[in-house]
Amino acid sequence: MFGYDLQKDVVNAKRQLGLVPQEFNFNPFETVQQIVVNQAGYYGVERKKR
């Protein structure tokens, strides 16, 4: 993918992908902090840093 071997270099291959939400579909019962933590996961922020 994008010149990266998925078997050998999956991390760099995944870095070439993006996430574009089509709409904001947040759970109205989540706190702002919970929403931000979940969104951070989409961008590869380690769980302990969220």
| Segment 7-47, tens digit of pLDDT | 899 888 888 887 777 777 788 999 999 989 988 888 888 88
**Does residue 38 sit within a domain?**
yes
- Residue 39: is it exposed, middle or buried by C-beta count within 10 angstroms (0-12/13-18/19+)? middle
Q: How far from chain centre, in Å, is Cα 25?
A: 15
What is the per-residue pLDDT for 12? 87
CA distance 11 to 7: 10
What is the per-residue pLDDT for 20? 77
Phi, psi of 40 (to 5 degrees): -60, -35
Structural domain of residue 26, as residue ranges?
Answer: 22-50
Q: How many domains does the chain have?
A: 1
The two structure tokens encoding residue 13: 């291959």
What is the per-residue pLDDT for 22? 79
**Does residue 12 sit within a domain?**
no
